[in-house]
């Protein structure tokens, strides 16, 4: 994990050091401070080593990235988490996890996700340092429905540890490392409510799902005959009504009442391209309408940014490819008429 690796040398080397939540050697304080952001729990020191609790935390909108160590060997018993899922990946040491139905170990390149309804208790080894992703329950379930077609009444459950040393697991950890590294450099990628932050959070959720579950084509029911055209029409109506909004494909799929995979398949069958390409074409057509019927204050830049085109060079390139002229030429021609 490169920069995310840490050792038992102390809190100075913990990732997200510029987002410290607390540092304490007092057991009651550590329990209370962790409970404020997670949930009430029992915390006991089991080993002879001194407690040296350190918690760094980066808050986003639907998730937070956490680095936590207690220094000493500890037992943690939160019971059901209820409102959130918790991904855990030991950067150093290991942890034993008991969910009531089964027990397992994480560490040495493996991690796991705690389900909200499981009766959880854990033992962290001495000097265990955990990288954790706390995720709002509804947000992760919505991502699973949108991306993998999880039925609305079905429960999203994770089962035991997964190795994260290659493939999708390694990619997911690499994305986490990027966010942490940029944060340590002073970049504010999460927590500002920006379109970039929202998209980054969604990418983290999808990355976690891909690294922990293995959905198949059977997971998502095939659209009923006649359902796909209605799905596409609903999506297109939603897009036309929100051309100036910062839409993501998940928003469109939700409005159409389907999953991202089903929506993409339906659009390719009908249009030969994905929904975001259709959305771009709709925005270009609206731009042509506005530039062809300008007011005294109409400017190409305002029209482009108002429709979600923030890279003017690409906007002009797509516009010329579609209409055979530049946006400026359309505006000038309309003003001369």
Q: How far apart are CA 323 and CA 321, in angstroms?
A: 6
Give strand pairing partners of 55. Answer: 22, 68
> Which phi and psi (to 5°) does residue 100 adopt?
90, -50
What 230-237 contacts at long range (C-beta under 8 Å, 24+ apart), as own/partner pairs, is: 231/256, 231/257, 231/258, 231/262, 231/263, 231/266, 232/256, 232/266, 232/267, 232/270, 232/271, 235/263, 235/267, 235/275, 236/278, 236/282
Average pLDDT, integer, range 226-232: 74
Say if residue 251 is in the same domain as residue 170: no
The enclosing domain of 10 has a CATH number of 2.60.120.10
Domain that holds residue 206: 2-211
Say if residue 161 is in the same domain as residue 241: no
Identify the residue with better confidence: 1 or 144. 144
- Residue 300 has a pLDDT of 92
Residues 6+ apart with CB under 8 A from 181: 3
- Residue 193 has a pLDDT of 67
Give strand pairing partners of 96. Answer: 105, 123
Q: How far apart are CA 91 and CA 175, in angstroms?
A: 15
Say if residue 200 is in the same domain as residue 97: yes
Say if residue 63 is in the same domain as residue 165: yes
The enclosing domain of 289 has a CATH number of 1.10.10.60
The predicted-structure confidence for 75-118, as pLDDT tens digits, reads as follows 999 999 999 999 999 999 999 999 877 889 999 999 999 999 99
Domain count, the chain: 3
- Residue 56 has a pLDDT of 96
Say if residue 152 is in the same domain as residue 176: yes
Identify the residue with better confidence: 93 or 334. 93
Lowest-confidence range among 11-20, 64-73, 172-181? 11-20
Say if residue 139 is in the same domain as residue 97: yes
Say if residue 131 is in the same domain as residue 150: yes
Q: How far apart are CA 232 and CA 256, in angstroms?
A: 7
The predicted-structure confidence for 27-74, as pLDDT tens digits, reads as follows 999 999 999 999 999 999 997 889 999 999 999 999 999 999 999 999
Look up the pTM and report it.
0.66
> What's the mean pLDDT when you consider all of the chain?
86
The predicted-structure confidence for 16-32, as pLDDT tens digits, reads as follows 999 999 999 999 999 99
Of the three residues 277, 306, 328, the one that is the final residue of a domain is 277
- Residue 208 has a pLDDT of 92
User: Reduced to 3 states, what is the DSSP secondary structure of residue 163?
Assistant: strand
Helix (H) or strand (E) holding 73: none
Q: Are 64 and 38 in contact (CB under 8 A)?
A: no
Question: Taking CA 287 as the corner, what is the angle to CA 284 and CA 290, rounded to the nearest 5 degrees?
Answer: 155
Say if residue 233 is in the same domain as residue 294: no
Say if residue 47 is in the same domain as residue 183: yes
- Residue 219 has a pLDDT of 40
Q: CA 4, 10, 16, 22 torsion: positive or negative?
A: positive
Structure tokens, 250: 């998940």
Look up residue 221 and give its DSSP letter. P
Look up residue 212 and give its DSSP letter. H
Of the three residues 262, 277, 292, the one that is the final residue of a domain is 277
Residue 167 has pLDDT above 80, yes or no: yes
Say if residue 56 is in the same domain as residue 116: yes
Q: How far apart are CA 151 and CA 258, in angstroms?
A: 10
Of the three residues 277, 304, 327, the one that is the final residue of a domain is 277
- Residue 217 has a pLDDT of 33
Residue 332 has pLDDT above 80, yes or no: yes
Say if residue 234 is in the same domain as residue 319: no
Instruction: Decide: residue 29, CB within 10 A, 0-12 exposed, 13-18 middle, 19+ buried.
Output: middle
Model confidence band, residue 1 (pLDDT cutoffs 50, 70, 90): very low
The predicted-structure confidence for 260-311, as pLDDT tens digits, reads as follows 888 888 888 888 888 888 999 999 999 999 998 888 889 999 999 899 887 8
Q: How far apart are CA 272 and CA 215, in angstroms?
A: 25
Q: For strand 120-124 and strand 74-79, is the pairing parallel, antiparallel, or unpaired?
A: antiparallel
Q: How far apart are CA 146 and CA 130, in angstroms?
A: 29
Identify the residue with better confidence: 185 or 218. 185
Token pair 């340092």: residue: 129
Say if residue 131 is in the same domain as residue 254: no
Question: Taking CA 54 as the corner, what is the angle to CA 53 and CA 55, rounded to the nearest 5 degrees?
Answer: 125
């Amino acid at each position: 994990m490169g920069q995310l690796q840490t050792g038992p040398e102390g809190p100075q080397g913990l990732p997200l050091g510029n987002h410290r939540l607390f540092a304490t050697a007092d057991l009651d304080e550590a329990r209370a401070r962790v409970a404020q952001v997670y949930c009430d729990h029992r915390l006991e020191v089991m080993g002879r080593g001194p407690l040296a609790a350190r918690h760094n935390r980066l808050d986003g909108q639907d998730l937070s990235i956490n680095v936590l160590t207690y220094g000493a060997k500890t037992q943690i018993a939160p019971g059901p988490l209820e409102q959130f899922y918790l991904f855990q990946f030991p950067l150093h040491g290991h942890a034993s996890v008991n969910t009531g139905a089964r027990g397992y170990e994480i560490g040495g390149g493996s991690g796991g996700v705690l389900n909200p309804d499981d009766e959880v208790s854990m033992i962290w080894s001495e000097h265990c340092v955990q990288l954790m992703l706390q995720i709002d329950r509804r947000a992760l379930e919505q991502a699973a429905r949108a991306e993998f077609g999880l039925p609305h009444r079905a429960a999203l459950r994770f089962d035991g540890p997964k190795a994260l040393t290659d493939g999708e697991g390694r990619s997911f950890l690499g994305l986490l490392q990027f966010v942490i590294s940029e944060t340590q450099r002073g970049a504010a990628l999460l927590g500002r409510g920006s379109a970039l932050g929202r998209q980054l959070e969604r990418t983290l959720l999808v990355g976690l799902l891909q690294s922990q579950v293995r959905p198949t084509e059977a997971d998502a029911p095939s659209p009923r005959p006649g359902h796909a055209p209605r799905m596409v029409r609903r999506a297109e109506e939603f897009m036309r009504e929100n051309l100036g909004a910062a839409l993501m494909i998940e928003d469109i799929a939700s409005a159409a009442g389907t999953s991202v995979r089903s929506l993409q398949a339906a659009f390719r069958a009908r249009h030969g391209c994905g929904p975001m390409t259709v959305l771009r074409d709709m925005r270009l057509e609206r731009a042509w309408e506005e530039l062809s019927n300008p007011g005294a204050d109409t400017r190409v830049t305002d029209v482009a940014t108002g429709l979600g085109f923030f890279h003017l060079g690409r906007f002009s390139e797509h516009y010329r490819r579609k209409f055979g002229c530049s946006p400026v030429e359309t505006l000038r021609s309309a003003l001369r008429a």
